[in-house]
Homo-oligomer: A and B are copies of this chain.
Amino acid sequence: MNVLIVFAHPEPKSLNGSINKFIVEYLETSGHQVKVSDLYAMNWKASIDSNDNVAAYQNKVFQPTHDSLEAFKNHTQSEDIVAEQEKIIWADIVIFQFPLWWFSMPAILKGWVDRVYAAGFAYAVGEHSENHWGNRYGEGTLAGKRAMLVVTMGGWESHFSARGVNGPIDDILFPIQHGILFYPGFDVLPPYLIHKTNSIDEERFSQIQAELATRLDQLASQPPIAFRKQNAGQYDIPALTLKAEIAPGKTGFSAHLEDE
| Chain A contacts to B: CB under 8 angstroms | 10-11, 13-14, 40, 44, 46-50, 61-65, 99, 101-108, 110-111, 113-114, 117, 137, 154, 156, 158-159, 161-168, 171-172, 174-176, 178-180, 230, 235, 238-242, 250-256
Copies of this chain in its oligomeric complex: 2
Nearest-CB distance from A131 to chain B (Å)?
15
Nearest-neighbor residue (CB-CB) of A112 within chain B: B107
Contact partner of A163 among B61, B101, B255, CB < 8 A? Answer: B255
A102-B117, A103-B179, A114-B101 as given contacts; A11 in contact with B61, CB under 8 Å? yes
Contact partner of A252 among B44, B65, B117, B162, CB < 8 A? Answer: B162
The 7 closest A-B pairs by CB, nearest first: A107-B111, A103-B179, A103-B175, A46-B46, A162-B251, A107-B110, A46-B107
A113-B102, A179-B102 as given contacts; A154 in contact with B49, CB under 8 Å? no
